[in-house]
Amino acid sequence: MQFLNVSKDQIERARQVDLVTYLKAFEPENIVKISDGTYSTVEHDSLKISNGMWHWFSHHIGGKGALDYLLKVKAFSFVQAVNLLSACPVTESYREENDRKDEFELPELKENIKEVKSYLTKRGIDKDLIELCHNKRLLFEDAEYHNCLFIGLDSNGVPRYGTLRSTMTDFKRELYGSDKRYSFRLASNNAKTVHVFESPIDLLSFVTLEIKKRRDWKRDDYLSLGGVYKAGNKEDVPLALQKYLEDNPNVKTVYLHLDNDEIGRAASRQIIEALSDRYEVLDMPPPYGKDFNEYLQKEIQNRKEIER
């Protein structure tokens, strides 16, 4: 049975996804734990979540589950919301089990990264760069869902951070227990310049463009923030960038390559204000497109059209 281009099974699956599960899977930077069983969001601090229900007090609306949230708060269409939630593999019982796990733990990994390599290549990422990340143990494929798994290592080379990106749907989330200070990065620890991105795929897209231009990209460092959101104080700097700068005192210049959207532009202004007294901070978003992967794909398409 089909309803508005989505099936009855999809609708039922979407209705079963609770809001905390959705936020941890799709908006991990937007969830705040207030106490055991009670959460809020960074975006709306008067929106409280508890016992499977949520209420946005400042707007006098509420609901049950993620579907209501997407329809009432995010203004998604019904079809958009159902399609997004029906792709989420995280269940309520899975969430409750993992809420009790404080220790960072990697999922079961495949020996090869066949699906990940195919997915990233289709998004324009350089094949040798993909292999380099895999060889450095920064990129894996999880065995159960074939997701991309981007890893962040500490100074001893120990995995401390992980973020999953589906090779088949829009699903993405950080691994439970991830320490955002050690987000995904390509770093030499002696560079004077760091390039900063919202996501690992944008980072790899930028480096791919540098490779295509035959530039010496290895002279600089590259850091993913694991997402951005509105900071509470003007002095706030994303944890990943803060930790990186503490560990790399040689860095003098910070290039911000955040998204061409309201959140990305606001985050860039915030970081510039917080760091400009100590560093040369340059705001360089993609010339066009929402992010650097979109820009990379358009550049590839433009080149193909020219060659025809």
DSSP string, the chain: -EETTEEHHHHHHHHT--HHHHHHHH-GGGEEEEETTEEEESS-TTEEEETTEEEEGGGTEEEEHHHHHHHHTS---HHHHHHHHHT----HHHHHHHHT--S-----B-SS-HHHHHHHHHTT--HHHHHHHHHTT-EEEBTTT--EEEEEE-TTS-EEEEEEE-SSSS-EEEPTT--GGG--EE--S--SEEEEESSHHHHHHHHHHHHHTT--GGGSEEEE-S-----SSTT---HHHHHHHHH-TT--EEEE---SSHHHHHHHHHHHHHHTTTSEEEE---SSSSSHHHHHHHHHHHHHHHH-
CB-CB contact of 157 with 218 (8 Å):
no
How much is the average pLDDT of 107-134?
Answer: 96
For the record, the structure tokens of 141 come out as 């494929």
The band of 94, judged by pLDDT with boundaries at 50, 70 and 90, is: very low
**44 vs 60: CA distance, rounded Å:** 13
Indicate the average pLDDT of the chain: 87
The band of 231, judged by pLDDT with boundaries at 50, 70 and 90, is: low
Q: What pTM, to 2 d.p., does this model score?
A: 0.71
Dihedral over Cα of 262, 264, 269, 273: its sign: positive
What pLDDT score was predicted for residue 153? 97
**134 vs 251: CA distance, rounded Å:** 26
How much is the average pLDDT of 112-132?
Answer: 97
The band of 3, judged by pLDDT with boundaries at 50, 70 and 90, is: very low
Dihedral over Cα of 255, 256, 260, 266: its sign: negative
Question: 23-42, pLDDT tens digit by residue?
Answer: 988 888 888 887 767 788 88
Q: Is a pLDDT exceeding 90 seen at residue 204?
A: yes
The band of 230, judged by pLDDT with boundaries at 50, 70 and 90, is: low
What pLDDT score was predicted for residue 98? 45
What percent of the chain stands above pLDDT 90? 56
CB-CB contact of 300 with 125 (8 Å):
no
What pLDDT score was predicted for residue 184? 98
What pLDDT score was predicted for residue 280? 98
CB-CB contact of 206 with 257 (8 Å):
yes
For the record, the structure tokens of 209 come out as 């463009």
What pLDDT score was predicted for residue 4? 54
Cα angle, residue 305 at apex, residues 299 and 307 outer, rounded to 5°: 105
Question: 51-70, pLDDT tens digit by residue?
Answer: 678 888 777 788 888 999 99
How much is the average pLDDT of 174-196?
Answer: 92
Task: State phi, psi for 133 to the nearest 5 degrees.
Answer: -65, -40
**149 vs 167: CA distance, rounded Å:** 10
The band of 93, judged by pLDDT with boundaries at 50, 70 and 90, is: very low
Question: What domains sit in the chain, N to C, each tagged with a CATH number?
Answer: 2-99 (3.90.580.10), 114-307 (3.40.1360.10)
Q: What distance lies between CA 138 and its chain's CA centroid?
A: 15
What pLDDT score was predicted for residue 205? 98
126-to-44, 77, 278, 300, 307 alpha-carbon distances in Å: 39, 36, 34, 12, 19
What pLDDT score was predicted for residue 234? 55
Q: Is a pLDDT exceeding 80 seen at residue 139?
A: yes
Q: Is a pLDDT exceeding 80 seen at residue 161?
A: yes
User: Edge-to-edge, what's the strand order for the sheet holding 53-56?
Assistant: 31-35, 38-41, 47-50, 53-56, 61-64
